[in-house]
Amino acid sequence: MSANPFVNFDLTTLDGRQLSADELAEQTLLFVNVASRCGLTPQYRELVALAAETAEAPFQVIGVPCNQFGAQEPGSAEEILSFCSTTYGVDFPLLTKRDVNGATRSKLYAWLIGSEAGGGDDIQWNFGKFLVHKGSVVKRFSPDVSPQDDGLLSAVADLLDN
């Protein structure tokens, strides 16, 4: 694998843009597997707030739509984008829909989960979170941890201060 892990992954967004592997490698990132029809879907509001609070920092929230949990993300790219922008005002990148568990797990999620901080365990449900700093996975948060949780916010702030 390259020193910049992001060159090994599909970084295509739902609207067809390609995220820059070089830019991602220099930032702090929060990857979240998301779904539009989940009881945790209101976390989008908190993710939007987090992205807005850190807009001036080298930080990005990156949503990764996944339909593996209760078929709660069945829509097309256009439907997902429309729902997220009109319902929650999502303006952070949403990657193309992908699997996060099993034999068809994306390379991105194989890397996130396979890291020391990722712990090697499958994703439990929608809205699992991985905090990445300059190309290294540093912390994993369970789906029920709010994007506005003090521990998550503190971890982000600590990384941005370094």
Active site residues: 38
Pair 36, 83: CB distance under 8 Å: yes
Pair 11, 21: CB distance under 8 Å: yes
**Cα(22)–Cα(140) distance, rounded to whole angstroms?**
23
Q: Which SS3 state, helix, strand or coil, does residue 24 take?
A: helix
User: What DSSP character marks residue 125?
Assistant: S
